[in-house]
């Protein structure tokens, strides 16, 4: 009796691997779609809605709890029309004098900052007010290539969806202006004993002078360096136009 040949072969694993790859691809597509849909929706919503809190506010509160400190969070949203007309001028003079001209990025300032870093000089930021707004509202403060890439994405998005006036309004309501103090109304009340609308030209320049490091520099108890910087900002403010009304 002849031997029967065994024609059976091991089951192929190609289908299993291919199915796994297709599943991973579908999940990646869903994640990408969710990311773009949620971020665009958030940016569109904040075109009109006040920003109730930022990631930095939660991070600072967590740091206070970790260090056994009393929670300190002072934040009062007010429209740009309820702020001193000099406040936008002061921060443009201090932080971003081409704010009304660029589309989110000042490439000359970025290039100069890169050159100074390569030369080992004192580092300075090349971020515009638009970039700082994107970082403050949507991202975390630590430096990384991922965060910088997301900052670029959100900056382009708010420049497309928001007006310059809206970007300035969100910036001045969200930025850190002291220990536990966020926004112009809060710093006006706690450091100057007035409302944001009552801040003088000199007050606004002093607040703007703290922005490079609001935890180190105080607008309530300014040092000689701060007063010198305030004077420089006030000189620069002469060359900056008032923020135009919404078109």
Pull the structure tokens for residue 125. Answer: 């930021």
Q: Mind listing the domains of the chain with CATH numbers?
A: 69-237 (1.10.3810.10)
> pLDDT for 60-94, tens place per residue?
999 999 999 999 999 999 999 999 999 999 999 99
- Residue 224 parent element (H or E): helix 224-237
Counts for the chain of helices (H) and strands (E), in that order? 10, 3
> pLDDT for 160-182, tens place per residue?
999 999 999 999 999 999 999 99
Q: What confidence score (pLDDT) does residue 118 get? A: 60
- 70 within 8 A of 80, measured Cβ to Cβ: no
Confidence check: pLDDT of 12 > 70: no
CA distance 58 to 213: 18
Confidence check: pLDDT of 45 > 80: yes
- Residue 181 parent element (H or E): strand 181-182
CA distances to 115, 120, 211 from 123, rounded to whole Å, are 9, 8, 15
């Amino acid at each position: 009796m002849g031997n029967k040949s065994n024609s059976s072969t091991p089951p192929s694993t190609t289908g299993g691997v291919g199915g796994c790859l297709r599943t991973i691809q579908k999940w990646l597509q869903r994640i990408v779609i969710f990311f773009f849909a949620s971020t665009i929706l958030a940016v569109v919503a904040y075109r009109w809605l006040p920003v109730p809190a930022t990631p930095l506010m939660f991070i600072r509160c967590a740091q206070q709890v970790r260090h056994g400190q009393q929670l300190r969070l002072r934040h009062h949203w007010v429209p740009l029309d309820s702020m001193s007309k000099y406040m936008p001028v002061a921060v443009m003079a201090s932080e971003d004098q081409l704010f009304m001209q660029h589309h989110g990025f000042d490439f000359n300032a970025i290039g100069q900052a890169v050159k100074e870093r390569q030369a080992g000089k004192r580092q300075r930021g090349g971020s515009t007010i638009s970039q700082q707004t994107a970082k403050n509202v949507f991202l975390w403060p630590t430096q990384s290539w991922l965060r910088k890439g997301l900052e670029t994405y959100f900056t382009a998005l708010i420049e497309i969806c928001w007006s310059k006036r809206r970007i300035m309004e969100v910036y001045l309501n969200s930025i850190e202006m002291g220990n536990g103090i966020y926004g112009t109304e809060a710093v006006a009340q706690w450091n100057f004993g007035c409302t944001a609308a009552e801040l003088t030209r000199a007050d606004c320049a002093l607040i703007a002078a703290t922005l490079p490091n609001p935890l180190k520099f105080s607008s309530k108890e300014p040092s000689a360096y701060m007063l010198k910087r305030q004077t420089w900002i006030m000189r620069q403010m002469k060359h900056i136009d008032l923020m135009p009304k919404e078109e």
